[in-house]
Structure 1
């Protein structure tokens, strides 16, 4: 394992796992990714079981997962398993299904991004690198749709986010939206990490948000709307 880390540091390439049950598609996606000097495909799988075996054996930085493995939405089930077993591993859902219908479902399952198979090679690489930086990737139309849904509180009223969240929750939400981690929020507000996690859970409940990627996306959109400067 130590040798693997040294090699990775030397090459500075991020290791990608491609999961798709169609060999031709899998080959094409892997080839596009491998042409980027910062990325390398070190694993391919055609089923959820193969993907999980690969994750156990190899040092993977990101998984690109087809939503329709074996003819059903098994890509979402696999994503839930990955999120449970590898909570910090980014997952990009690759799909031929309507993004306006399935993107939010994918993020709710724990994916960090969603991209259509019809998109260009350049956008695929952009999506992968966006996730590797710790951000969420969806198309602009989907982002706007999700922002609109997030802005409607749990109690189904027309109240704004500021009216729904407490003052402290608004502070935490703004800090999430400007790029702060849970630890940095705790340090900035002089509270414990557990307290911040509690605030995050309450925010998700009040805004009807089910996953961390959705929370980050909603917070970033709100912070931008409020003209709160991001952290770099």
Structure 2
């Protein structure tokens, strides 16, 4: 059915950034079935995602965290810095307790677990496009506790890692060598080693072998989610 000129103006334009074509296809069908929403573009990695945002100027970008060329959090930061009119919503298989707050700090306006996409994605999109934030009730409660001072203890363990440190830990767990990490992240090998040292300190580890074992276990645990 052809949209009228008036309805075309009211339709909100969405792009999808996910490296799985089947996932993008399913998400596009889900979003397009909702009145007032349309998927106008797709991308399989962060570089393409930033290009699509720049070219199409969508109202919203739905972004996966695990992308082949760059962490989705970094893409969110790039979009917010370069295309502030485009809102970002993170849709990921990763646990919200680990990445939800990080996504919001990066500039995203919401976080949805992929396993909840069928029930929650459209609701989240409408809330974000309406100017609100979308997170689960449990994460919202946790954030409110922090704001009100009920949880003032210093972050420890995994929670204490910066986004970059968490990204490097994940790459270590996937067996990526230091020089390749440096090349992929466009930083020096010395900087990677500095991050490794900070990660070991924050996780109370004394040697590199322990860090590698921990990183591998971390990646494996995330893959099971």
- Which bin holds the TM-score, normalised by the shorter protein? 0.5 to 0.7
Match in the other structure for 2:48: 50
Instruction: Classify 1:102/1:112 alpha carbon distance in 2 versus 1 (closer, same or farther; 3 Å).
Output: same
Instruction: Classify 1:81/1:8 alpha carbon distance in 2 versus 1 (closer, same or farther; 3 Å).
Output: farther
Contact 2:15/2:60, CA 8 A, preserved across alignment: yes
Q: Normalised by the size of structure 1, how large is the TM-score? A: 0.60
Contact 2:77/2:106, CA 8 A, preserved across alignment: yes
CA distance in 2, matches of 1:93, 1:46: 15
CA distance in 2, matches of 1:108, 1:101: 12
Instruction: Point out where structure 1 has 5 or more consecutive residues left out of the alignment.
Output: 1-5, 158-232
Query: How big is each residue's C-alpha offset from its partner over 1:118-155, in whole Å with a ceiling of 9 and x where there is no partner?
Result: 00423110000000000000000000011111222999
Match of 2:93 among 90, 96, 120: 96
1:144 and 2:141 aligned: yes
RMSD (Å) for aligned C-alpha atoms: 2.4
Match in the other structure for 2:67: 69
CA distance in 2, matches of 1:35, 1:153: 42
CA distance in 1, matches of 2:7, 2:51: 24
For residues 1-232 of structure 1, what are the structure 2 equivalents within 5 Å?
A: 10=8, 12-70=10-68, 74-152=71-149
Q: Number of residues paired by the alignment?
A: 151
Instruction: Classify 1:53/1:7 alpha carbon distance in 2 versus 1 (closer, same or farther; 3 Å).
Output: farther
Instruction: Classify 1:8/1:84 alpha carbon distance in 2 versus 1 (closer, same or farther; 3 Å).
Output: farther
Instruction: Point out where structure 2 has 5 or more consecutive residues left out of the alignment.
Output: 155-225
Q: Could you tell me how far 1:13 is from its partner in structure 2? A: 1.1
SS at match of 1:137: coil
Q: Normalised by the size of structure 2, how large is the TM-score? A: 0.62
Instruction: Classify 1:25/1:71 alpha carbon distance in 2 versus 1 (closer, same or farther; 3 Å).
Output: farther
Instruction: Classify 1:103/1:86 alpha carbon distance in 2 versus 1 (closer, same or farther; 3 Å).
Output: same
SS at match of 1:119: helix
Q: Could you tell me how far 1:88 is from its partner in structure 2? A: 3.0
